[in-house]
């Protein structure tokens, strides 16, 4: 948070690098609205012109703890705000506190402006259903392999399947749990989708 004039609300800002090349994506919450600067584009969206926000948990190989906010405008534009920033070719750094504070303040200012934005969290319902169906099929297949390994006395194979299933459940379980489709209100931003 940065200071502003005596009568104006403080300006909240946030920036991240989406890639190694190019400048940072910069965002500010001003009295007028959400000001954004993305390489090649910029704009100012009044808080009541923001039509939707979708929060989600989006891990990637370089950063297993990454969050995303997709902000949509009434005229069709959309910008993404990520909780991580590229530092080097091998390092993507989390910006947990800055991201969380910025997103909470954005919601507070939108509520104060009387916004009627649609607030959703997680994956879309159809995508989430497809993920659950895939996991169900995978669980049946893994269970069949485990039973087969036990029936033929292949204990090393059974242990491998159990270990793989545990690792997979640990990695994918958090993604599925956090990205459950839901709607929320300005005063109840889902904690599971904030770092």
Per-residue pLDDT tens over the stretch 47-95: 999 999 999 998 866 667 789 999 999 998 999 999 988 776 666 677 8
φ, ψ dihedrals at 183, nearest 5°: -105, 155
**Distance separating alpha carbons of residues 48 and 12, to the nearest angstrom:** 18
Residue 145 has pLDDT above 50, yes or no: yes
Q: Which of 27, 163, 171 is nearest to 103 (CA)?
A: 27
What percent of the chain lies above the pLDDT cut of 90?
60
For the chain, the average pLDDT equals: 87
Q: Pick the range with the lowest mean pLDDT from 36-40, 85-89, 187-191.
A: 85-89
CATH architecture of the domain with residue range 12-122+182-193? Roll (2.30)
Measured CA to CA, the distance from residue 194 to residue 103 in angstroms comes to: 8
What pLDDT score does 9 carry?
62
Give the start-to-end residue ranges of the domains of the chain.
Answer: 12-122+182-193, 125-175
Cα pseudo-dihedral 81, 86, 91, 95, rounded to 10: -40
Q: What does the pLDDT average to over 15-38? A: 88
pLDDT over 70, % of the chain: 90
Length of the chain: 195
* Residue 3 confidence class, pLDDT cut points 50, 70, 90: very low
Res 20 pLDDT > 90:
no
CB atoms under 10 Å from CB of 116, counted, come to: 10
Q: How far is residue 106's CA from residue 13's CA, in Å, rounded to a whole number?
A: 10
Does position 2 have pLDDT exceeding 50, yes or no? no
pLDDT at residue 131 is higher than 80: yes
**Taking 70 as the threshold, does the pLDDT of residue 174 lie above it?**
yes
* CB-based contact 194:103 (threshold 8 Å): yes
């Amino acid at each position: 948070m940065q200071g502003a004039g005596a009568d104006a609300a403080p300006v909240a800002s946030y920036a991240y690098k989406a890639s190694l090349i190019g400048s940072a994506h910069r965002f500010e919450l001003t009295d007028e609205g959400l000001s954004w600067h993305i390489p090649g584009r910029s704009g100012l969206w009044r808080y009541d012109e923001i039509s939707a926000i979708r929060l989600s948990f989006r891990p990637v190989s370089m950063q297993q703890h990454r969050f995303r906010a997709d902000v949509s405008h009434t005229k069709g534009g959309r910008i993404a705000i990520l909780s991580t920033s590229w530092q080097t070719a091998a390092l993507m750094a989390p910006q947990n506190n800055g991201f969380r504070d910025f997103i909470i303040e954005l919601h507070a200012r939108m509520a104060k402006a009387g916004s009627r934005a649609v607030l959703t969290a997680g994956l879309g319902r159809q995508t989430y259903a497809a993920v659950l169906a895939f996991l169900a099929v995978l669980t049946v297949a893994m269970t069949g392999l485990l039973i087969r390994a036990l029936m033929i006395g292949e204990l090393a194979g059974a242990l491998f399947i159990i270990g793989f299933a545990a690792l997979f459940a640990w990695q994918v379980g958090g993604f599925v749990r956090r990205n459950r489709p839901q709607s929320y209100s300005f005063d109840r931003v889902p904690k599971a989708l904030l770092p």
